[in-house]
Amino acid sequence: GATMGNQEKRYIGITDEALCDTGIEKLLKNVHKDIYPAADKIYVSPMKRCIQTAQIIYPGREAVVVDDLKECDFGRFEGKNYIELSGDSYYQKWIDSNATLPFPEGEDVKAFRKRCTEAFIRIVKHAKDNESVALVVHGQAGFSGFIAVGVYFDEGIHRKAGVGDFDLFFFAAAADAEC
């Protein structure tokens, strides 16, 4: 689901934004279309936007909160968009590095990916045979985890992959939808 920060193209990491009205409406429309797969177990980031997304997709279901799946701490970039950061020399340096430098006063990108990958692998190891598992996380957190186990990323509302004898579904909770 989308937040106002998504609409404004802001770096929203540790800012615990709620879903915006349009983000909620879009999720509800998708639920009504019955496009989300059923899941035996649901894991979520501790961020409000992910928890709200899971509650809309899987109403009345308990979700396991995994702290290590939270979004990256963007440090000095947090809450700002590229226009506001255009005069920041470190921001330009970070862009020129293909986003490999640590965020100033924030999280190192490699540490973030490692954190998310390790959480993802723990979830995969705990999945039972013939169990459907849904992760409602941030795009980069999910991407890091899928890469870790060699899952192919395709386009669409969800990503499904057979990993062992269970199904795994991924939902990005901060899509670039308009609010």
pLDDT, averaged per 10 consecutive residues of the chain (179 residues), comes to 87 92 90 86 91 93 94 94 94 91 92 87 78 77 48 38 45 41
Contact present, 50 and 138 (Cβ < 8 Å): yes
Burial class (CB in 10 A: 0-12, 13-18, 19+), 125: exposed
b/e map 151-170, b = 16+ CB within 10 Å = beeeeeebbebeeeebbbbb
SS3 63: coil
What per-residue confidence (pLDDT) applies to 124?
A: 79
Contact present, 10 and 3 (Cβ < 8 Å): no
What per-residue confidence (pLDDT) applies to 38?
A: 84
Burial class (CB in 10 A: 0-12, 13-18, 19+), 100: exposed
C-alpha 145, offset from chain centre: 11
What per-residue confidence (pLDDT) applies to 7?
A: 84
Backbone angles phi, psi at 94, to 5 degrees: -65, -45
Tokens 């986003």 appear where?
A: 99
Beta strand pairing call for 41-44 and 132-137 = parallel
What per-residue confidence (pLDDT) applies to 141?
A: 53
- Tell me, what amino acid is at 82? Y
Q: Which two tokens stand for residue 60?
A: 């009345």
